[in-house]
Structure 1
C-alpha cells in the first residue's frame, strides 16, 4: 500500500503548510476576524467562510506526521506555529468583541460550547479522510475536512468568552478545539503509519503505541460520551415536561413558552400556558405530575393565561401573546436602526425619527468635509441595504449644490452620467421637501425650431414631472444651485 506513495513529495507538502510564516499569520488573523463576526451575527455562512481560509489544519497535520516519523524538529515547528496562531486568534477575536457593539450570545456561539462524543467521531472520520487525500494527492478534499472539523470558530468563541467574562463559554469552546486538535493529530499519525511514514517498530513497541492511542481516545471519549448523554437526557426531559403540560391542560390548551434550567438542583421549569378557564390547575398539582413523569423533584413556575372556553378565544389569546412578542422584537429592531443611523449620519440618537408602524426612519446628516449630494445618497443606500423591510431616509445638509447635469456633445439625450446626476438632484429635492425646480432655457411647448438648450431643458423638465416635481422656467435674478446643461448653464431653486 505504501509502495505507490511519494513519501518525499507528501512530506514536502506537509512541511510547506505546517510552519510559521507571514502568510500563515495573516490568514490566521483574517480567519479569526471572519469567524468572530459570523458568530456575533449568528451567520453560519460567514462561519463556514472562516473555516475555509483557516490555515490551522497545516500545523496539525504536520504534528501528526512528525509523531509518526519521530521527527522532533518538525514536531517542534508545528507545535510553535499552532500555539502562536491559537494565542493570536484568541487575542484578536477578544479585541474585536470588546470593540463591537454586539455582544449578545448567539446560537452559533452556544453551538460551540458543549462538545460531545459525536464531535470526536466527526473529527476522527474527517481527519482520516483528509490524511488519505493528502497522501494520495487529492488535496481538494481538505476543504471538506476544514468545514467538518471546526478549528477557528471554537478559538473565536474562546476569545468571545474571555472578552465578555463568561468563562463557561470559553472553557467549553476550548474543550471543543482540544477535542478536534488531538483527534486530528492522532488520526493523521495512524494514517501516516499505515502508509509507511515512520520507523520500523518492534512488536512490543507497536503494542505499546497502540495502547497509548486507544488510551488517548478513551480519555477524550468518556467525558464526551457523558456530555452527549446529558444533551440527550435534557432533550427527553423537555419532551416529557411538554407532554405533561399538554395532557394536564387538555387539547384546547397551548404551551406558549417553556424554559428549563438544568444546572440547578432541583431543575427549574418555567412555563407559560394558555388554557380554558375551566382547566385551571394549581401549580402544586402540576408540579407533582411532572415529578412523577420525570422521577425527580422539580421547581416549577407555571404562568396560566386563562380564557373563556372555546378554541377561538384561545387562538385570540395566543395571537395576542404572539403580537406582544412581535412588538418587543420591533422595539429592539427599532433601537438597533436608530443606533446605526445615528452613527452613519453623525447625528444624535434623539435626532432620528422612527415610525415603527410605517417602518420608516429619518434623520438629518451632519456635514461631512468634501461630501457631495451623491455621497449622502450612496450613504443612505448602503444603510438601507443592511435593514430589510424599512424605509430609510437621510436628509443631506442644506446648501449643497445640485450636481451638474452634462449631455453628450450635440445631443439632447441624457447619458448614464447625466441620468445619475439628475436622479441625485431629484433625490435631494425630495429629501429637502422641495416641490419645484426652475429649469433655465425652458420653453414649452417645444417647437420644431427649438434650440439644443431648449430641447435639453425640456428633457430635464419631463424627467422632473415623472417624479412629481414641478418644472418652471428660471426667473431673472433668481439665485440657486447651478446645473450644467451641455454648453449651457441652468439655475434651479425652490418655488
Structure 2
C-alpha cells in the first residue's frame, strides 16, 4: 500500500475513535443525569413517607405546652438565671453549663418558630409574651444578685459573651436545626446538647450584669448575642417546621412572603455579625504581627509581658514590657516601622525594657512581675473601695479622699456644712476611723471659727480642756496656719509645741495668762498659695 493510500485510512480510524469516545461520554453523562434524577425522586419519596409518619397534631400540642407560661417555667427561669450569674461572677464554666441545662427558654422560642411557620398570629403573641416575661424575670434577678454581690469584676466568661460574630450565628443555626428536628421526631434527649451549644441564659445574665454595673458596652454586646441566638433558633425552627409540612395550608403567595422574611431576617443578622467577625480577625492579625515584630528585635531568651494592642483606630497602639538581657536602642521606632510595613497602617509603640542579668531565670522574673502586678491591682482595688466608703460616710466626692495604701493612711477633705462646728467634724473623723480599723484616717476640716482657750500658770484652765483639745486637733488637721493672740498666747504656744503642734503668735499678744483667741492665718491677697474653704 502506498503512503498516499495509508494517510486517508489513518484519518478515518482517528475519526472513528473520536466518535466512539464522544458517544461513551454522552452515554455516561446521560447515565449520571438519570441516576441523579432517580436519587432526587427517591429522596423526595422517602421524605414524603417520613413526613406522613409525623403526627402533626401531637407535635403541635407538645410544643405549645412547652411554650406556655407556667409556674414551672417561671421557677426554672429564675433558678437558671441565678445559677448563670453566679457562675459568671465566679468565672466557673461548670456552673454556667448547669444554668444552660436548666434554662427553659428554648420551649417558647421553638414554639415561636412553629407559629411563624404556620402563620398563627395568636400563638406568636402568646410565645412572645412568655419570652418577654421570662427575660424580664431573669434580668431582674440578675441585677439584684449583682447589686448584692461584692464581686463585680468583668471575668473572662463575662467578656466572652460581649462580642458576638458570624460564628455565633452559625452555631445557633445548626444547633437550632438539630433541636427542632429532635422535637419533631420525638428525640428530646438531643435538646441537652442544643441547650449547651446555643447558650441562651448566660448571655441574658451578662445583659443583667451590664445593666447592674452600668457598663453599657457589655450590656449591648451581650444583648446582641442573646438576640442573635433567639432569632436564629426561632427562624431555624420555622424552617424545619416548613420542611415537615407544618405550613401545608399556606398559599403560594404566603409561602413566598414567608421565605423572603426568613431569608431577609438572617441577612439582617449576618451583616453586623460579619463586620464583628472581620474586626475580631483584624485584631488577631494585628496582635500576631505586633508580637512577631517585637520578637524580631528581642529574640529568645527575651520574654514579652504586659502585651496590649488597640487596633480599633489609627494609629494602631501597641504597649508591651520586655524582659531582656541586652537593651535595644530605638526599639520603639524599629517595631513601629516593622508593624507599619507588615500591616500598611500607622502604629504607635511603647516598649518598657527590663534588664535581667544572665544568671536570672527569665521565666521566674516574669512570674515575679506578674505577682507584683497582682499586688498593685489589689492595692488599687483597696484604694478605690476605701475612697468610696470614706467619701460616702463624709458626704463628699471621692476626689476629696487621698489614700496611701503603703502607710495605711487616708485623708478626707471635708466640705463646709451649714450650722456645723469643728466639734462635729472631729466626731466625724472618729466615726471614719472606726469604719476602717488598722488605718489612720485624718479629716481636714473647713476653716471654721476656732475655740478660745484660757491659760494660767503655764497650764490649761480646767474648764478649757475640751476647747484646747479641739484647737489642737484643728491646728494639726487644717491646711492653714493658726495664729494666737491675747493674754497668754505665748504660754499657749509653748503648751501646744510641747504636744507637737506648731502655731504662731501675734506681734501684739500680751504676756502672762488669760483668754487666748485663735484664728486661721489667711494668706495675703497677692499670695498664690491655697486659701481657706
Q: Secondary structure at the match of 2:230?
A: helix
Give the whole-Å Cα distance in 1 for the aligned partners of 2:301 and 2:367. Answer: 17
Determine the structure 1 residue equivalent to 2:414: none
Give the whole-Å Cα distance in 2 for the aligned partners of 1:77 and 1:202. Answer: 24
Q: How does 1:416-435 map to 2 (within 5 A)?
A: none
CA contact (8 A) 2:336 2:349 kept: yes
* CA-CA distance at 1:307 after TM superposition: 3.5
Determine the structure 1 residue equivalent to 2:364: 319
Q: Secondary structure at the match of 1:273?
A: strand
Q: How does 1:252-291 map to 2 (within 5 A)?
A: 252-291=301-340
Q: Provide TM-score, normalisation by structure 2.
A: 0.60
CA contact (8 A) 2:139 2:205 kept: yes
Give the whole-Å Cα distance in 2 for the aligned partners of 1:134 and 1:75. Answer: 18
Give the whole-Å Cα distance in 2 for the aligned partners of 1:36 and 1:185. Answer: 24
Give the whole-Å Cα distance in 2 for the aligned partners of 1:330 and 1:265. Answer: 33
Give the whole-Å Cα distance in 2 for the aligned partners of 1:273 and 1:335. Answer: 23
Give the whole-Å Cα distance in 1 for the aligned partners of 2:116 and 2:63. Answer: 13
1:163-184 deviation digits (Å, cap 9, x = unpaired): 1110010000000011011110
Match for residue 4 of structure 1 among 39, 53, 67: 53
Give the whole-Å Cα distance in 1 for the aligned partners of 2:62 and 2:169. Answer: 26
Give the whole-Å Cα distance in 2 for the aligned partners of 1:163 and 1:278. Answer: 47
Determine the structure 2 residue equivalent to 1:154: 203
CA contact (8 A) 2:80 2:201 kept: yes
Q: Provide TM-score, normalisation by structure 1.
A: 0.64
Q: How does 1:165-204 map to 2 (within 5 A)?
A: 165-204=214-253
Match for residue 107 of structure 1 among 153, 156, 162: 156
1:75-108 deviation digits (Å, cap 9, x = unpaired): 1111000011111111110111011000000010
Q: Secondary structure at the match of 1:279?
A: coil
Match for residue 140 of structure 1 among 167, 189, 195: 189
1:392-418 deviation digits (Å, cap 9, x = unpaired): xxxxxxxxxxxxxxxxxxxxxxxxxxx
1:299-336 deviation digits (Å, cap 9, x = unpaired): 2211011245x4x44x34x4233124235547878999
CA contact (8 A) 1:249 1:280 kept: no
Distance 1:186 1:248, change over 3 A: same
* CA-CA distance at 1:56 after TM superposition: 0.4
Q: Secondary structure at the match of 2:51?
A: coil
Give the whole-Å Cα distance in 1 for the aligned partners of 2:71 and 2:251. Answer: 41
Moved more, 255-264 or 165-174: 255-264
1:352-371 deviation digits (Å, cap 9, x = unpaired): xxxxxxxxxxxxxxxxxxxx
Q: Secondary structure at the match of 2:151?
A: coil
Q: How does 1:336-351 map to 2 (within 5 A)?
A: none
* CA-CA distance at 1:36 after TM superposition: 0.2
CA contact (8 A) 1:250 1:279 kept: no
Determine the structure 2 residue equivalent to 1:126: 175
Give the whole-Å Cα distance in 1 for the aligned partners of 2:176 and 2:205. Answer: 21
CA contact (8 A) 2:68 2:126 kept: yes
CA contact (8 A) 1:120 1:180 kept: yes
* CA-CA distance at 1:277 after TM superposition: 2.3
